[in-house]
Amino acid sequence: MHNLNTFYIGGEWVKPADGFSLADIVNPATEAVIGTVAMGGAADVDRAVTAARDAFASWSKSSREERLALLRRIAVGYKARIGEIAEAISTEIGAPLWLCREYQAPMGLVQIQSAIAALEAFDFVTVSGTTQVVREPVGVAALITPWNWPINQIAAKVAPALAAGCTVVLKPSEIAPLDARIFAEIVHDAGAPAGVFNMLFGTGPAVGAALSRHQGVDMVSITGSTRAGVDVAMQAAPTVKRVAQELGGKSPNVILDDADLKAAVSAGVVSCMLNSGQTCTAPTRMLVPRAQYQAAIAIAQATAQALTVGDPASPDSKLGPSSNRAQYERVQRMIETGIREGARVVAGGPGRPDGLAQGFYNRPTVFADVSNDMTIAREEIFGPVLSMIPYDDEAEAIRIANDTPYGLAAYVWSGDPARARRVAGDLRAGSVQINGAKMDFTAPFGGYKASGNGREFGAYGLAEFLEYKSVAGCAASA
């Protein structure tokens, strides 16, 4: 049993304030309770923010070399425990162990290394005319992270915040606390000064809201649903603090008529379904030329039906369960909604896969005959559900792709690189991947519209945690 009943505050593991409760940690593959996690409140937030504020005076004045040394020690500690992190993530969210070993856990290390590289080269002092322009840490940063790619988002916020000279209070998802606990131990063992890094668990309405409205917090960075991001922004508004949001998505996958149809469709299905569809950038709307639509449906159907769903520990399982009961039930409701609104199920459908009577497993589902005004094409489902939408010409494809409240990611497939780049330029999204290109963790990541604001990764993520200061009259000494 995993009993996570302490918080990391001021360089120590401490008991929560009086009145705390315990939440169950549930293995989504078996529905078994595997431990408990303490749920904090406003008093715990006060204590953590106070520790971070006390540490900010010295850490904000630390040298580049001191920050690099700490981040490098964290990277060493992370490498030593990367296998343990992978197993923790698989246990707590049900992701296949192979996925956790190859992607989930390694991505956290990539984020730390990216922050180190950014800090090594970052120019904190520049000159504009007769003015010295200085980049300084924004202050105490509250970091609110999700359960779907948990360690990636923890590292993507903590590492650049520390690199910038901020002190932090981390609130990881209570659904995925095991990897967060390991990360906190790594930071402690790396010798982070007391109060520079703090971590506590709790719900969004309790701990997340208390951090967002706290006078002692200078910035909130949240990755989560658009609903959660809006709530954080509203809570933060009276104190006029900075809010960075990486939120939901309903990403279009535009397959042009000159693309390799089989490669594009099959890759799109796998990308949509990966991590049980619990990826904010998942290409959940597949836009296909009408003349190729029936052929694309057949490819998508075969691809989805070949995806094995099962025990996360089995190397044969391509997909595991949804990460929690509430998410499983939402996916089931959305599949039923798609059927009710007239979309045609060509793979999957309601219920669990055959042979899986227990666990939060969904069937990889492909809908054909989807129009872009259907609920399944408008709302983020966060499950292994793909909507296939036909279009008549390139202009219509771009219009449908942009007809969404979201703008986190988009995808383009074409046999003509120049055409693909031109279409990418017309898509209103923070990142566009062409012909299956891999994500670059040094490039800025973030969204347009309801997908949030601000950017993460590399130097762009570091910059989010900095303020500008103009010092006139001393440019010659810069």
Q: Give the residue numbers annotated as catalytic, written as ranges.
A: 246, 280
351: left (phi over 0), alpha (psi -120 to 50) or beta: left
CB-side exposure of 48: number of CA atoms within 13 Å? 36
**Closest Cα to residue 360, out of 395, 400, 316, 328?**
328
Q: Which of 61, 162, 168 is nearest to 118 (CA)?
A: 162
Query: CA 357: distance to chain centroid?
Result: 30
| Beta strands 125-128; 32-39: pairing state | unpaired
**Cα(306)–Cα(300) distance, rounded to whole angstroms?**
10
Over 149-175, what HEC string results? CHHHHHHHHHHHHHHHCCEEEEECCCC
Q: Which two tokens stand for residue 429?
A: 């999204």
Q: Which amino acid is it at 440?
A: D
Strands 409-413 vs 431-434: parallel, antiparallel or unpaired: parallel
Q: How far apart are CA 459 and CA 163, in angstroms?
A: 10
Amino acid identity of residue 429, one-letter, is A
